[in-house]
Each structure stands twice: as C-alpha cells, then as structure tokens.
C-alpha cells in the first residue's frame, strides 16, 4: 500500500477514468444508473469549485473511485456521485428517490445526515458513543462506507484547509472515523486516515518517519517474498500464499521507539494448508535468514488469550533490514481476521459487555465486505445489513453536544435521569430539535434533546415509574419518593401521637416528648 504523500501534481479525475475502473473491475455494474447519477451530480454542482480550485465534481468522482477499489455495488457508486447534492445544491432527496428509487435515496440521505453532525471537540469519554451513534445512524452499512471514503478524499485534499480546520478534521478522523474503519475491517482506509491525520497533527513526527521508510522502500519486501516463495516451493511447499505489508507511519509513531528498535516495520505473512507445513516453513525461513534472538513466538502451541494462533519470528537478511515473519494456516488466518474476539478488541482493550454484540455483527459485516471484494459477481448482500447493527440502543445529544446512550424505547424522562437525577427530578417538559414533545416521547437516534426543568423542590410523578424504560431512572424516582416519604412519615407519626395524647387529655412539653420518644 502506498500511503506516502507525493508532491507531484495529478490530473483531476474524469468520469471516463471512473468508468474505465468500473469496466476493469470485471463486475456487472449498472452503467445506465451510474451514468444518470453522474449527469445529475455534474449538472447540480455546475460551476461550484473546491477550495483547492478544482471543479467540485472531482470530489464525488474521487469518492466513487475509492468505492470501486473496495468492490462496492452500483447503488453505492451512484450514491457516492450524488452524496453532496442534497447538502450543497437545490436537488432534494425526494427527487433522487423519484429518479433512482428508495435504496439510492436512503444512501444519499444517510451520508447527508452524517455530514451534518459536527463534533467540535471529541473527548475520549464520548468517542466510543459517537462511533456507535454514527453506526446506528447509518441505517445501512453502505452509508458508513461511503462516508469513510468521503472523509478519506477530504483528508487527501485537506492541504487547502485553513490550519485550524485541518487540526479539527484530523482529530475527528483519528478519534471517530479511523476506529470505525478498523471495526469494519477496512484496514487500508483506516491506516491512510490515521497517517493523514498524523500528518496534520504532528507534521515533524510524520515526516521523520516517512523519510526513514522511503530510505528502504518496499521493493525490498517484494524481493524477500519472491525469494521465500521459491525456496518453499523447492522444498515441497507448493501452495503457500505469501503476503507482505509495511507498518503504517502512525503505527510506527505509536511505538515511540528508535526506528532501529522496531522489528515489525516490514512483515511477511505465509498462509499454509496445515500445522505441520507451518513448522516446516519456519525451519526453512530460519535456514534462509538469520533469526534475531528472543523474537520467536509459538502462538500455535500456546494461543493468545483471544484465540489468536500463528508462528512469529523476526529475521534479518543480507540487506541488514530486520523483518517479521508470521506463519499460519487458513483457519488461523480467518480467526485472526474475523474472529469474534476480533483483534481490535484485543488491541483496543475493550472489555465492556455491551460492545460484544456489536462486534459480532461487525465481524459479519467484515466477512461480507471481504467476499464482496473477492467475488466477481456483485451481489447486494451488503444492503441486507440495514442497521440492525445496534437494534437495542439509541443515541441522542444534549444541547451541549454530549451523547447519551439509552436502550431502544427509552423516553425523554430516561434521558433526563441519564444526565443527572437532579435534572430528572425537576423535569417539567422536553424539547426535541427545538420542538416541545410529551415527556413520554420515545428517544430516536440523532435527536438533540433539551430537558425543561421547574423549581428545585419539584419532584417526579409516581406515574413515571410506568413510563420509564431504564432501571437507572426507576431507581432514581423510587429513591426520591423514599426520601420524600421519610419526612412525610416523621410528620405523620408526630401528628398521630399528638392526636392520641389530646384524646387522653394529656399534654407534653418538648422536653418530655423527647424523653418519651426514647
């Protein structure tokens, strides 16, 4: 993968270029629909230009061409071409629906909605909620994939942005979009998003690493792979699949070590038929190259806690550049790529229970994406994943922009108690996107909800116990009544005692009263 930003001037992409890449892909694309989508977008964006001076249409064309590389379907390509018309031109989603049908319209609408969400600053605490909310808002996972390609192209051309905007976009990309690309298993987009963000956030750090990487270049890896394949074949391992990668600039940056101390900048992966071939290949590799001490790990006999299996070793050849070799079977490879204990969880250390279901679903999405990319017949499997990605959760904003995460079916009252019990206890009404709604309004993902509060001594209503959905709200309401009743009970008890005393024509001073109570 080529991540480095080169200084040479590229010709702006044309529709002919895009069509050529569609033809070259060998997939049965719906050229009629894509032609019509391009014509509409071209006309709608008309004389608009990007900040860089390019005609605006270059942007949707570029986004569409990234989607072709990902192996996405005709509807996604058409929607990508039109993804900015609803936001920036008089063309409406209704018009797109009428001309292209509900599916393409839903994609365009989804991307438009995601684009309208602006996070001014992404705090760590909020980042995971934001990611989940965006996924939930996507409805159809293709919306998120188009959005990721949109963001990627914007980051590629971000040099035209003012300094502050570059940093804001870079932070948002790093915190929100790159992790989503990671969870969807689109690792080359994830890595490019991170590298380009780093370039804006720490230009010096970025350029230092890039220069060191350029010194070696990856022709070196091509030679190594070729040599290994030949040697394995000569020794009876015919069906080896050999892949290689260069660690991303951001990946190296994160290690925070001297370049020479990072041994996995270059890596070769050998995928084989069975376990005995794996050990056999390991022997052959150690014959060819000099293994570095203490770098050999047998995760086949002792898998990692998440089930990951592979043989790892680091070797060094005549070029004096160390590289890591990973050897595994196809089963182990699939487990590593798509396993439910998916390596993102392992690496990111996500342990809370609620993300498990999401991860299972995302693992499924990743498998679909992979089969979409590798199979020639473009099926629309992906469109089947209308967002039951997060069917049991909704996400709404406070007016300050904090994201509140609630179970589906939760009401505005739950929302109020999720902010703070004091907000819930004083609640007298709610506004959604600036309109008054009933307090039992069911929260929908993406809504901005403002809770209207009354005086401090105002309490909740007992009826609310039948309305709220979360146990948090229920407990807080019950607690309020318990506390309230304690005072009521004391008052009632005192009155009852006084009545009894009066009935018996007795009276007590306060002092006597206290002795009596004891």
Q: Which is nearer to Mn ion, 150 or 195 (CB)?
A: 150
Instruction: Tell the smallest beta-carbon distance from residue 40 to Mn ion (Å).
Output: 15
3-state secondary structure of 21: helix
CB count, 10 Å around CB of 344? 20
Which of 69, 87, 123, 360 is flagged as catalytic?
Answer: 87
| H or E stretch at 325 | strand 322-329
β partners of residue 327: 270, 311
Instruction: Tell the smallest beta-carbon distance from residue 225 to Mn ion (Å).
Output: 37
Determine the Cα–Cα distance for residues 383 and 94; give it in Å rounded to an integer: 20
Q: Which is nearer to Mn ion, 84 or 103 (CB)?
A: 84
Considering only CA atoms, which of 280, 78, 67, 73 is closest in space to residue 189?
Answer: 67
Determine the Cα–Cα distance for residues 501 and 503; give it in Å rounded to an integer: 5
Annotated active-site residue 95? The verdict is no
Instruction: Tell the smallest beta-carbon distance from residue 87 to Mn ion (Å).
Output: 8
Instruction: Tell the smallest beta-carbon distance from residue 38 to Mn ion (Å).
Output: 15
Q: Which is nearer to Mn ion, 50 or 286 (CB)?
A: 50
DSSP string, 247-276: --HHHHHHH-S-GGG-TTSEEEEEEESSHH
Determine the Cα–Cα distance for residues 140 and 383; give it in Å rounded to an integer: 6
Which of 17, 30, 42, 88 is flagged as catalytic?
Answer: 88
Instruction: Tell the smallest beta-carbon distance from residue 42 to Mn ion (Å).
Output: 15
Q: Which is nearer to Mn ion, 150 or 192 (CB)?
A: 150
Burial degree of 353 (CB within 10 A; 0-12, 13-18, 19+): exposed
- The CB-side HSE value for 352 (13 A sphere, CA atoms) comes to 5
Instruction: Report DSSP state, residue 353.
Output: T
User: Long-range contacts made by residues 297-306, C-beta under 8 angstroms, separation at least 24?
Assistant: 300/275, 300/328, 300/332, 304/346, 305/346, 306/339, 306/341, 306/343, 306/345, 306/346
Backbone angles phi, psi at 274, to 5 degrees: -145, 170
Q: Which is nearer to Mn ion, 193 or 418 (CB)?
A: 193
427 near 416, Cβ under 8 Å? Answer: yes
For Mn ion, which residue has the nearest CB? 150
143 near 111, Cβ under 8 Å? Answer: yes
Burial degree of 188 (CB within 10 A; 0-12, 13-18, 19+): middle
Instruction: Tell the smallest beta-carbon distance from residue 59 to Mn ion (Å).
Output: 6
Q: Which is nearer to Mn ion, 87 or 234 (CB)?
A: 87
* The two three-digit tokens of residue 46, written as one number: 């008309």
E-strand ranges in 359-432 read: 393-397, 403-407, 427-432
- Provide the residue count of the chain: 518
Q: Which is nearer to Mn ion, 59 or 199 (CB)?
A: 59
- The CB-side HSE value for 210 (13 A sphere, CA atoms) comes to 15
Q: Which is nearer to Mn ion, 57 or 213 (CB)?
A: 57
β partners of residue 269: 243, 326
Instruction: Tell the smallest beta-carbon distance from residue 143 to Mn ion (Å).
Output: 13
Determine the Cα–Cα distance for residues 150 and 60; give it in Å rounded to an integer: 8
3-state secondary structure of 73: coil
Annotated active-site residue 24? The verdict is no
Interface ranges with Mn ion (CB under 5 A): 84, 150
Instruction: Tell the smallest beta-carbon distance from residue 48 to Mn ion (Å).
Output: 12
What residues are annotated to the active site? 87-88
């Amino acid at each position: 993968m080529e991540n480095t930003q080169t200084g040479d001037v590229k010709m702006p992409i044309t529709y002919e270029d895009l069509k050529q890449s569609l033809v070259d892909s060998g997939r049965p694309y719906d050229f009629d629909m894509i032609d019509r989508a391009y014509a509409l977008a071209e006309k709608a964006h008309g004389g608009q230009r990007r900040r860089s001076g390019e005609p605006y249409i270059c942007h949707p064309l570029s986004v569409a061409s990234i989607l072709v590389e990902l192996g996405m379907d005709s509807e996604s390509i058409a929607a990508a071409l039109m993804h900015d018309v609803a936001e920036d031109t008089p063309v409406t989603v209704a018009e797109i629906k009428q001309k292209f049908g509900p599916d393409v319209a839903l994609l365009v609408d989804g991307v438009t909605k995601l684009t309208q969400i602006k996070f001014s600053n992404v705090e760590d605490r909020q980042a995971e909620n934001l990611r989940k909310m965006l996924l939930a808002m996507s409805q159809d996972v293709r919306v998120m994939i188009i959005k990721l390609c949109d963001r990627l192209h914007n980051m590629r051309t971000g040099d035209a942005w003012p300094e502050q905007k570059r940093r804001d976009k870079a932070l948002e990309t790093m915190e929100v979009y790159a992790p989503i690309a990671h969870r969807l298993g689109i690792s080359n987009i994830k890595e490019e998003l991170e590298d380009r963000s780093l370039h804006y956030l720490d230009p010096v750090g970025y350029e230092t690493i890039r220069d060191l990487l350029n010194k070696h270049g990856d022709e070196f890896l091509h030679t190594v792979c070729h040599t290994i394949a030949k040697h394995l074949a000569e020794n009876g391992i015919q069906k080896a699949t050999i892949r290689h990668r260069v660690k991303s600039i951001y990946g190296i940056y994160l290690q925070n070590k001297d370049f020479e101390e990072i041994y996995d900048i270059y890596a070769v992966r050998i995928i084989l038929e069975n376990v005995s071939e794996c050990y056999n290949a390991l022997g052959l590799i150690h014959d060819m190259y000099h293994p570095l001490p203490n770098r050999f790990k047998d995760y086949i006999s002792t898998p990692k806690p998440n089930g990951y299996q592979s043989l790892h070793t680091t070797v060094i050849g005549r070029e004096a550049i160390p590289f890591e070799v990973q050897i595994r079977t196809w089963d182990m490879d699939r487990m590593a790529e798509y396993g439910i204990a998916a390596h993102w969880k392992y690496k990111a250390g996500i342990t809370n229970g609620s993300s498990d279901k999401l991860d299972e679903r995302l693992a499924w999405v990743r498998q679909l994406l992979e089969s979409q990319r590798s199979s020639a017949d473009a099926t629309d499997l992906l469109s089947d994943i209308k967002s039951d990605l997060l069917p049991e959760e909704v996400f709404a904003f406070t007016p300050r922009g904090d994201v509140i995460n609630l179970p589906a079916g939760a009401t505005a009252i739950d929302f109020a108690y999720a902010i703070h019990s004091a907000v819930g206890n004083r609640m007298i009404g709610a506004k959604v996107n600036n309109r008054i709604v009933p307090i039992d309004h069911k929260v929908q993902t993406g809504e901005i909800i403002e809770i209207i509060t009354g005086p401090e001594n105002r309490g909740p209503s007992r009826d609310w116990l039948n309305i709220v959905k979360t146990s948090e709200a229920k407990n807080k309401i019950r607690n309020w009544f318990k506390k309230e009743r304690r005072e009521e009970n004391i008052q009632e008890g005192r009155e009852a005692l006084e009545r009894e005393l009066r009935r018996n024509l007795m009276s007590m001073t306060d002092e006597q009263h206290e002795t009596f109570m004891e």
